[in-house]
Amino acid sequence: MAKVKLRHSLFITTIGSCIFASLSIVAFAHFGTQQISDAASTIQTPFSVSKSPTPGAENQQSVTQSVIIQAVGDVIPGTNYPNYRLPKNSDRLIPNSIRTHFQRADVLFGNLESSLTNYRYSSKDITKGQIFAFRSPPQYKNLLAKVGFNVFNIANNHTLDFGNIGLQDTQNNLESVGIKVVGHKNKILFIEKNQIKIAIIGFSPYDFHNSVHDIKIAELLVKEAQRKADIVVISMHAGAEGNNAIRTRNKVEFFYGENRGNSVLFARRMIDVGADLVIGHGPHVPRAMEMYKGKLIAYSLGNFLGYRTLSTLGKKGHSMILETKFNSQGNLESAKIIPLMMNKQGIPYVDKKYRTVKLVRYLTKKDFPNTPIKINPKGEILEIN
């Protein structure tokens, strides 16, 4: 296998602008390459589909070279707006049993649906029905870094809960502890682990992010990422929300009249042009998974952490860690669901009853009956040849 010569060049930044809640979106700080140095482990769940070596690559990599990418769903570590809903001890928000699983990750990804800021003024009118604004203390960045997060998606409907000031504060606070963000318009994040270069791009239904509606631009971003990285990961905030939105359908979805995109169409198109993994979030419930052209799509990971903010009723309390292992050629070597549940306060815990695994197995059979994967009772995702 070959090793791509490391480059610190960045994708050309295009400044996009859009009016949202009467605020202007300014050009954001660009991203750089980040070294991440946690330990990796091996899961014996082999996949057979291979990716061709990068043409013209230099030197040789070890055949054992690999990277473990873990992902969780929506994260809100409590809020102090409009009232105080924070734990006495923030360290209890993520139990040690979950942190033990996180220790295996080289890249730990989540979808942050809160602002890390002290800014006082929300851009949202929360007096209207089904409109929420979340603000977490900036010092919570230390907890998120301590448990192992190193990438957060901020392309979602809570990006601008506290306007551009809150957004910039959030990014600055995360980056001050080594956590990168994805989702800014026309931006690709490149990080490196184990001599493997990984590109991550975040998308949402909104024009001030990389948009799931603009397929042509999305394809250009993925093609650029594929040229410069060994593995391309897509973060996709799409789909309707709630227990009634648990099924994945190949059609445009709406939530309170808002076009949330066609997640099946979008995810497959991203793989068509070079993506290796698509991670979905936004519906607040787990959804089905499928293998498309040898690439894994997880249509929604559900909620992960929502202390006194996210509902845990019904399937909204089902949670997971999606663990994937890739080799240096972008081939998926193994994948598994680590099942979690959320208690009534929105704190996750490891679920020994494997309820999320059972749910995702059921949904996958219903929504993608012809997908060439099987999820066994332990959550291991196996490819059927």
Dihedral of CA 188/108/164/159: which sign? Answer: positive
Helix (H, G, I), strand (E, B) or coil at 162: coil
Q: What is the CATH number of domain 2-383?
A: 3.60.21.10
Cβ atoms 300, 281 nearer than 8 A = yes
Q: How far is CA 45 from CA 29, 63, 257, 383, 384, in A?
A: 39, 17, 42, 9, 11
Residue spans of the domains in the chain: they are 2-383
Cβ atoms 318, 286 nearer than 8 A = yes
Query: What is the pLDDT, as a whole number, of residue 47?
Result: 56
Cβ-Cβ contacts under 8 Å for 337 (sequence gap 6 or more): 320, 321, 322, 323, 356, 357, 360, 375, 379, 381
Strand locations in 178-294, DSSP E?
A: 180-182, 189-193, 196-204, 210-211, 231-237, 254-255, 258-259, 277-281, 289-292
Residue with tokens 């971003």: 221
d(CA 26, CA 38): 34
Kindly state the tokens that stand for 92. 């209890």
d(CA 304, CA 112): 10
Amino acid at 241: E
Query: What is the pLDDT, as a whole number, of residue 29?
Result: 36
d(CA 260, CA 188): 22
For the chain, which residues score pLDDT lower than 70? 1-64, 385
Query: What is the pLDDT, as a whole number, of residue 244?
Result: 96
What pTM, to 2 d.p., does this model score?
0.84
pLDDT digits (tens, 9 = 90+) for 176-227: 999 999 999 999 999 999 999 999 999 999 999 999 999 999 999 999 999 9
Cβ atoms 203, 236 nearer than 8 A = yes
Residue 75 parent element (H or E): strand 66-76
